[in-house]
Amino acid sequence: MTKRIHIWARGIGIALAAMAIFAVTIVSFISLTLLVISMEEGGANLSDSTVSLTGAIVLLSQGIGFSSGSFTLGVTPLLLSLLLIALIRQLAQRFGTSLLGYCAGLLTWIVLNLLFVQNTSVNLSGSMISHVLRSSLVFSLGYLLADISNWKEVKALTSLYRKYVSGQIRLIIRIGIITWLVVSALFIGMALCTCVYWLVVNHQGMARLFTLLNMGMGSRILTSIASLMWIPNLCMWALAWVTGSNFQIGDAGYFSMWLGKSTDLPPIPAFGMLPDQVSNDVIRTILLTLPMIIGFVVALVVIVHPRSCDAWKIIICKSDEISKKQTIIRLTYPIGALCITATLMVLSFMSFFGVANGPLGKDRLAHVGVNTLEAIRSVAQPTFLGFTLAWILIVVIISFKIGIHIALTNIHRRAEASNELDVESLHDTNSVSESIGDNSRVISSKDYGSTETSMTVLVHAENLGSSGKKADANAKED
């Protein structure tokens, strides 16, 4: 009983510590920001709204939007959400994890968020059930990403998995998951590079917005730091943009590589870095082919790598050293692994694009972000095409090698058959020559006693030959 109480206490402690650290950090930054704004503007003290705004930001980081008057903010700051998940994970690793501890911590986390819901002065979007579900998802991700391999339940599931799933299927699943992680990391890196390019090219637009808003240096710095919390959202929009899709700032802005227009955007400095259209057709074509190139290169490595599907062994080894069954198996593994990768890509990027969107208003700015289906199509289709081309290339190379081997084998067999015929004919010729030589030796070896006797024998032989010819001629005449 005492051990169980300790487990519950650890779970509750994880939730309390994570919320305390996160909320104190948020309230400190908000207090500093409001203080700097009050000093630069010379207006009234804004610190009275610090507590309410802190609760709203804590809830916003868990996907719960809010509105105050005409101002609406429903775009989740994903970097803040990721930091919160990482904080929960770190505390869970420090305190220890268990199923009972997770349940106790989850209930505590829900209660703490409901306290923020009841004590904030802004209007929150969504129902109470959605608030509970979203906050539960954040805590669950952070807790379950900690080391849970020592749980009894996880060990039991792992043993069942190893018992009922064959080693070959486990290998395919492992390759598919690793490939998905690599491809996702490459796409996120490409999106981050696109955001950096936007910032370098359009930083003057942000400076103009700061000037138009009469912001002092302190407000500019703190506003820029706060804007960083939405960098993952901007990365998802950039990924859709660079792969041929588009993103919108409600009805006020439309951005793609073919068109970039905006009218009456909200006075948010981060919007000053949004891109223009790409006028160079060559650059646009290169950008559009990047997903296919990524898919092709990654799939090629997966297919030929020795610790993966190891199709390279089929290419370099002799054809008689590997069976047809092994060849088919080594070419079937990539199909299963890449299908798993494709499924995980669609599901994960659907989630990424979905959580990156949100409203900034009620009418013209009711939807900010990307069209999820179009964005997934622009990312997934060329990537899957790259997967297919890589597999087809390996199949063509192996087929070409097998065809050459068959052709060389046939040529070798024909050469061997021809050599055998030549040897047989030569053997027959030698046999005839030997028999003729033997007969000649028999005739010449007989001793007729004298030269005259030998000449007599030769004349007699000639007479016999001429007699034979005459007999043949008479037979023909008859």
Non-local (6+) Cβ contacts of 419 within 8 A are none
Distances in Å between the alpha carbon of 202 and those of 150, 184, 246? 50, 27, 18
Mean pLDDT of 462-472: 46
3 band by pLDDT with thresholds 50, 70 and 90: confident
Compute the distance between CA of residue 125 and CA of residue 66 in angstroms, rounded to an integer.
5
DSSP string, 181-204: HHHHHHHHHHHHHHHHHHHHHHHH
The neighbouring-strand residues paired with 255 are 247, 260
Helix (H) or strand (E) segment spanning residue 47: none
Mean pLDDT of 130-141: 94
Would you say residue 179 has pLDDT above 90? yes
Pick the closest to residue 360 from 97, 170, 77 (CA basis).
Answer: 77
In this structure, are residues 66 and 123 in contact, taking their beta carbons and an 8 Å threshold?
yes
Residue 420's pLDDT is 66
Residue 303's pLDDT is 87
Residue 311's pLDDT is 67
Torsional sign, CA 28, 33, 39, 41: negative
In this structure, are residues 227 and 173 in contact, taking their beta carbons and an 8 Å threshold?
no
Mean pLDDT of 176-205: 93
- Name the residue with higher pLDDT: 14 or 305: 14
436 band by pLDDT with thresholds 50, 70 and 90: low
Would you say residue 142 has pLDDT above 80? yes
The neighbouring-strand residues paired with 68 are 71
Mean pLDDT of 144-166: 82
pTM for the model stands at 0.81
Would you say residue 78 has pLDDT above 70? yes
Compute the distance between CA of residue 179 and CA of residue 56 in angstroms, rounded to an integer.
38
Non-local (6+) Cβ contacts of 20 within 8 A are none
Reduced 3-state DSSP string for 415-442: HHHHHHHHHHHHHHHHHHHHHHHHHHHH
Q: What is the pLDDT of residues 346-375, one digit of tens each?
A: 999 999 999 999 998 887 888 899 999 999
Compute the distance between CA of residue 206 and CA of residue 306 in angstroms, rounded to an integer.
50
Residue 316's pLDDT is 58
Q: What angle do CA 243, 337, 355 make, to 5 degrees?
A: 45
Average pLDDT, the chain: 82
The neighbouring-strand residues paired with 370 are 247
CB-CB neighbours of 148 under 10 Å: 16
Q: How far apart are the first and last CA of the chain?
A: 133
Non-local (6+) Cβ contacts of 341 within 8 A are 176, 177, 179, 180, 183, 387
Residue 433's pLDDT is 54
Residue 422's pLDDT is 61
Compute the distance between CA of residue 369 and CA of residue 274 in angstroms, rounded to an integer.
12
